[in-house]
Structure 1
Amino acid sequence: MLDFLSLVVLTKNTSTIPILGPIWNIIVNVLGVIMNVIYLSLEKIGIGNIGLAIIIFTLVMRIILFPTSLNQQKSSRMMQIMQPEMKAIQDKYKNKTDNASMMAQQEEMKALYEKYGTSMTGGCLPLLLQMPIIFALYRIIMNIPAYVPHVYSIYENVMNAIGGSSAAQKLVDFATDNGMKNILAQLHNLGVGENVSYTADQIGNFIIDFLYKLNPSQWTALQGVFTDTNAVNAIQTAAEQSAHINNFLGINLSTAPSAMGFVPNVYWIIPILAGLLQYLSAKLMTAQNAGMAEGNDQSAQMMKSMNMMMPLMSVWFCFTFASGIGLYWCASSFFMIIQQIMMNKYFGKFSDQELLQASMEKTNKKRAKKGLPPIDEKTVEKRIEKAKAMANTAEKNRMAVIAKQSAKTKESTEYYNRNAAPGSLASKANMVKMYDEKNEKNKK
């Protein structure tokens, strides 16, 4: 987790995610434009504030991602409805590992998914589509200056005043003396003493990322590092501007709650609120999908554990990272709760049969576009019955082979043991003798 975060906090000019490559950069840049538009709009009405920008940005992202969330919720509901039939198929083929039974089970499962107009990946695909966007969101929230030019200029003025990339060593010494080694690790030690060679522009971006993370007390301490009047004045101006844009209800968003110590203070509101909102969100999702774990103790236990672990993880992350990340986490959970309530109310209006019928109609429209015949419950039931018949035939054939082999073994045993007590030494010697005689006859 920390390795990933250390990669994404860099300005957009200095890092990329090789796994996603150009796609990742496109997603991040598009979302960065949205964040910039939101911030500039707030600036025009005189309330330019990163906290408000983060909340509005989070709301916009939840709206954009709503279709995938709706599809995921629909798939979960269909999985809940089909759970009894799915369990019946699984129980039917339990402990059957022969190829015929496994193929028959797959065929029945496939037909069942067609019946309900969903697929095995129906619930996972929306999540997979959201993941690149979610990672991009974190990168933007953690690295506002890279995507909001107005904010970037605040820290760029300081960087130019203190000597540009040549000031990196002084800032590294300052960070070391003020207990900021974790930030240095995230920012590759500002390019100082690293095995990788960085350009002046890249080091400058590291410096801007570093300055953005300073809290008010660290800005004050930084003034004592430089003696040049222009540098001191630039630092004072940036400190005031940074305090203004980062202040949200008395909380500086560049400051992590952990930096304020373990005595309860106003900064604790964000991690506590994050944990509570995450818990409520998990409870709402559990209420909607309760039937999926019904009759499955392992799934129910796993869901219960997740409902406890996720809120605790939210508290820990929001306590450790800058409050801006915590604010995003809280806003995201809050909007997810509202979204979940709306979806629960919407899906609660429909019976299982109505949802099944609507899902089948949608599936048939897709099949019609591909030139395939429509399916209905009767068609699917026939496929399931056919799969059952195939399984029964395969099982009968398997049992016939076993019976034939048993009969052959019994006949052979009786032949060799007919003149001696079964299992005796004489019977074994007799078996060898008769075997040789039999082979001799076959040779003639």
Structure 2
Amino acid sequence: MDSFSLILLTKNTSALPIIGPIWNLIVSVLGLIMNTIYRSLEYVGIGNIGLAIIIFTIVMRIILFPTSFRQQKSSRMMQLMQPEMKAIQEKYKNKTDNASMMAQQEEMKALYEKYGTSMTSGCLPLLLQMPVIFALYRIIMNIPAYVPSVYTIYENVLNAIGGSSAAQKLVDFGTNNNLESILKQLHYLGTTSTDYTSDQISNLIIDFLYKLDPSQWSNLASIFPEASSKIEIAASEAARINNFLGINLSTAPSSMGLIPNVYWIIPILAGLFQYLSSKLMTNANQAMADGNDQSAQMMKSMNLMMPLMSVWFCFTFASGIGLYWCASSGVMILQQLLLNKYFSGISDKEMIEKSLARANAKRAKKGLAPIDEKSVEKRIIAAKEKAEASENNRLELIAKQSVKTKESTDYYNQNAKPGSLASKANMVQLYNDRNEKKNK
């Protein structure tokens, strides 16, 4: 079976599910980038997964930079719009009738047009980033699926221990070596179902072997003594490509115990970088950070929680994932510094003018009239007048109903003390008299 077929099988039988052809395409393209980087490093004699992860992360962050730029620009526009948005929200605060809600929506839409932006401009960059970011994790967690030369290292062990027939023995080995969570992710190497082919089981085994740390490799040799020489060679190769500044990237810091050691560097750096990144983003969105509304409070909470989550995440998972997390946060810090410097050199007026110019260029392509402040103001005034007219009609109907109710009450309560038994009897009598007259 050729290497490309093996890679596809490994993708389809790995811990994370494939969620459609678009996702599969994204992962495959990014996998080719990762393979190109690793092969280039091998070509110059420094084939190393840690270095490949760092370069891969830098490349991907450069590719995603336009979406980060758009998100930052959208955040800046939201800051400029914030006072007017709050004024509109305050004006319609306690009005829940349909006309008022429609008027509020119309005013908000006009406000976005006034600044040359849209309600979805801040969400779109995030939506574009999310599938790519998830795909990055997918690749980092399962490098053999995308780098054939790394796959070969573990394939040699697979063949030496008997291929797919060794699955149950490996499950027992994993259970005895605290690898239950990994086995669960890998569907217990296909031993709990008859739906897996031998090729799929073989690739699940390779996924499993890739996650073993040096001490577990030593234990594996005692389980398969007939393949001990192949296992020792693979363990040596795995240690070489996974070694990064004295840290084995297949080893989780948590497995090294609670006594401070070199493996703690990655979780600590991850938390520090995440804190700095959050701080820089908060400074870039100062209007939201200074607010007292729910979104501001949520941002403050996230700034505290995210660094702690980063530390725990990188402490628990293999150091390769933590290295990617650190590299990604480090590049994001540099990008945020550049973006903050760029946007600090643009005045609010210039920002709005550029945004309007881009919006009008798009409208011109669609044959629409350009947006100007007067047309927007007219729309806002029209929305206000519509809301006021609707409110006046509602109040008028209430007033008319009140008059009718009063007239009816006065009619039925005439010649009697209001609320008395006589008044109620009189109401019944008058009601009957009125109906009799109508029927004659």
Pairwise same-fold verdict (TM > 0.5): yes
Partner of 2:89: 90
CA displacement 1:356-392 (0-9 Å, x = unmatched): 1111111111111111111111111111111111111
Relative to structure 2, which stretch is displaced further, 174-183 or 57-66?
174-183
C-alpha distance in structure 2 between counterparts of 1:196 and 1:310, whole Å: 41
Shift of 1:108: 0.5
| Conservation of the 8 A alpha-carbon contact between 2:15 and 2:186 | no
C-alpha distance in structure 1 between counterparts of 2:411 and 2:85, whole Å: 50
- Of the three residues 216, 222, 225, the one matched with 2:223 is 225
1:426 aligns with 2:426: no
The equivalences for 1:122-137 within 5 A come to 122-137=121-136
| Conservation of the 8 A alpha-carbon contact between 1:159 and 1:208 | yes
Aligned-partner residue type, residue 425 of structure 2: A
SS in 2 for 1:121: coil
Structure 1 residues not aligned, in runs of 5+ = 1-9
1:269 aligns with 2:265: yes
Shift of 1:172: 1.5
Aligned-partner residue type, residue 172 of structure 2: D
The equivalences for 1:242-261 within 5 A come to 242-261=238-257
Shift of 1:297: 3.3
- Of the three residues 376, 390, 399, the one matched with 1:403 is 399
Shift of 1:179: 1.5
C-alpha distance in structure 1 between counterparts of 2:291 and 2:277, whole Å: 23
Shift of 1:227: 2.3
The equivalences for 1:366-385 within 5 A come to 366-385=362-381
* TM-score, reference length from structure 1: 0.95
| Conservation of the 8 A alpha-carbon contact between 1:17 and 1:24 | no
C-alpha distance in structure 2 between counterparts of 1:186 and 1:317, whole Å: 17
Shift of 1:19: 7.6
1:296 aligns with 2:292: yes
Partner of 2:437: 441
* TM-score, reference length from structure 2: 0.96
User: 1:164–1:16: structure 2 CA closer, same or farther, 3 Å change rule?
Assistant: closer
User: 1:239–1:18: structure 2 CA closer, same or farther, 3 Å change rule?
Assistant: closer
C-alpha distance in structure 1 between counterparts of 2:193 and 2:148, whole Å: 30
SS in 2 for 1:120: coil
User: 1:293–1:379: structure 2 CA closer, same or farther, 3 Å change rule?
Assistant: farther
C-alpha distance in structure 2 between counterparts of 1:25 and 1:153, whole Å: 23
- Of the three residues 212, 215, 224, the one matched with 2:213 is 215
C-alpha distance in structure 1 between counterparts of 2:386 and 2:293, whole Å: 32
Shift of 1:128: 1.1
Partner of 1:4: none
Aligned-partner residue type, residue 167 of structure 1: A
Shift of 1:334: 0.5
Aligned-partner residue type, residue 158 of structure 1: V
CA displacement 1:246-303 (0-9 Å, x = unmatched): 0001100001111111111111111111011111111111111120354433222211
1:346 aligns with 2:339: no
User: 1:276–1:293: structure 2 CA closer, same or farther, 3 Å change rule?
Assistant: closer
Count of residues paired in the alignment = 432
**Aligned sequence identity (%):** 75
- Of the three residues 377, 382, 386, the one matched with 2:382 is 386
Shift of 1:14: 2.4
The equivalences for 1:32-431 within 5 A come to 32-192=31-191, 194-228=192-226, 231-431=227-427
Aligned-partner residue type, residue 422 of structure 1: P
| Conservation of the 8 A alpha-carbon contact between 1:168 and 1:190 | yes
C-alpha distance in structure 1 between counterparts of 2:18 and 2:122, whole Å: 23
Aligned structure 1 segments of 4 or more residues deviating by more than 4 angstroms: 15-19
CA displacement 1:20-48 (0-9 Å, x = unmatched): 41111110000000000000111111111
